[in-house]
Amino acid sequence: MSDKQKNAISPRRDEDFPEWYQQVIRAADLAENSEVRGCMVIKPWGYAIWERMQAELDRMFKETGHRNAYFPLFIPLGHLEKEAAHVEGFAKECAVVTHHRLELRDGKLVPTGELAEPLVVRPTSETIIGAAYARWVKSWRDLPILLNQWANVVRWEMRPRLFLRTAEFLWQEGHTAHETRAEAEEETMKMLRVYEKFAREFLAIPVLTGEKSESERFPGALRTYCIEAMVQDRKAIQAGTSHFLGQNFSKAAGIQFQGRDGAVEHAWTTSWGVSTRLVGTLIMAHSDDDGLVLPPRIAPAHAVVIPITPKEDSKADVLAAAEVLATSLRTASFAGAPVAVEVDARDLGGGVKSWEWIKKGVPVRIEIGPRDLAQGTAAVSRRDRPHRDKEFLPVADIPGRIPEILKEIQSGLAARAVAFRTDHLRTMDSKEQFYEFFTPKNSAKPEIHGGFALAHWDGSAGVEEKIKNDLKVTIRCIPFDESPEPGTCPFSGGPSRQRVVWAKSY
């Protein structure tokens, strides 16, 4: 690709955001659609990003007292039937196994051996884990149970989009059981704050936290809390959820224990999760028209050293110098860990290699060639700046400078995302203003439209449903507010306790 080309990704974000998103994934070689409709192949670079997310979240979970376990992929249909609200919420998305054998008939494989009870491929694990907890819990001394599992789930998605909505996706799901309601509610909020901290500090994404409206709750939960991110087309993405399940699932599963006073009680439970949707959120939040942009704290590689070898007689010296520089860089530390470095020693032109790493979003690129060797310098480029920008630094100074650059990129991306959200979060008091905000064709300045709207709501499902039908706009969260501002719902004229966040979403 010529360095004269303006952008690596076509179309640009402002031309066709959904297609731009797909092209960023393709250019960065993150994932592709598989032969099974709605399922994706996550390629090594995409999976490496997920592994970085896993590693940091897993550490945070364990620091809060949780341990990992694993539960079955298949759930007996009867388990789901015990919790009516839950099965109603997932019924249309379930994949069901009805047979256990294939036989060859007339050259075709035919399912035979019908199961006595159909098995549902895990859409979420509250019911199967609840059955295990019912076996394990006998006394208040057996509580709390604080478990998490890393797994795949299946929800039959009719309109798939890589990372954001796929029939099969990867996630973690935490499931806890507690002696008291207060403990379970504290756990629910604790894990929500873990997600918030992870999004802000590692993904450099400023998220809004709050409670979901009743219509948006997790099926069977008493309360659902969420982190909501704004991406660059000004839509919302639900980036993580934490559910206070009350005693609904423990009663359905029979999670009972003898309390401190000798009485038999039901446990109070929670569940909470994030998924590979975070990869899609990351792409949409930070990437640009040259490809993926990765915050350093979540990047699989912090820097790539690119040897420039135009002549065969200097090739060995340049490659050796690149390896020496990479080794030196790995002795430096960023965010409490060694700087992660790649060396691209492929026999390709420097421009081709550089563009590939730009599209992959690596925070820092370091080019070193014969002239650099002679001068004792190397060219350092940052992914958060135009691709032509280069700073020539003495090679000896680079290991000390790179951690500072990585910190600057991380904080810069976070500040940029905060500024973007601030620019597109509006407080509104009239229905006309609200409808205009979410209807660009009604304005002479469509560029100011769309984003997050803070508007009063009377709490009625009718108002919520009408706005959803009219504008495809939903309540993303009811923000936490110790001193809520009461007012008047602009849609019904009824009283409102506080403003809520409305947006179009993925």
Instruction: Give all domains of the chain, ordered by start, each with its CATH number.
Output: 17-286 (3.30.930.10), 301-406 (3.40.50.800), 425-503 (3.30.110.30)
How are strands ordered across the β-sheet holding 364-368? 341-343, 303-307, 364-368, 377-382, 391-394
Which two three-digit tokens encode residue 297?
């704290």
- pLDDT category at 2 given cuts 50, 70, 90 is very low
CA dist 364 and 369 (Å) reads: 17
pLDDT, mean of residues 169-181: 98
Backbone angles phi, psi at 33, to 5 degrees: -70, 145
Checking if the pLDDT of 402 tops 80, the result is: yes
If you search the block for the tokens 């691709």, which residue do you land on? 387
Query: According to the model, what pLDDT value does residue 449 have?
Result: 65
- Say if residues 193 and 207 touch (Cβ distance below 8 Å): no
**Does an H or E element contain 400, and which?**
helix 398-423
Crossing angle for the helix pair 398-423 and 312-329, nearest 10 degrees? 70
Query: According to the model, what pLDDT value does residue 448 have?
Result: 46
Report pLDDT digits (tens) over 445-460.
444 468 999 999 999 9
Checking if the pLDDT of 296 tops 80, the result is: yes
Report pLDDT digits (tens) over 45-71.
999 999 999 999 999 999 999 999 999
Whether the predicted model's global pTM rises above the 0.85 cut = yes
Query: According to the model, what pLDDT value does residue 3 have?
Result: 43
- pLDDT category at 441 given cuts 50, 70, 90 is low
- Say if residues 190 and 63 touch (Cβ distance below 8 Å): no
CA dist 189 and 192 (Å) reads: 5
Backbone angles phi, psi at 414, to 5 degrees: -65, -45
HSE of 426, CA atoms in CB hemisphere, 13 A: 17
Checking if the pLDDT of 326 tops 70, the result is: yes
- pLDDT category at 262 given cuts 50, 70, 90 is very high
CA dist 216 and 55 (Å) reads: 30
Report pLDDT digits (tens) over 417-430.
999 999 999 999 99
CA dist 350 and 314 (Å) reads: 14
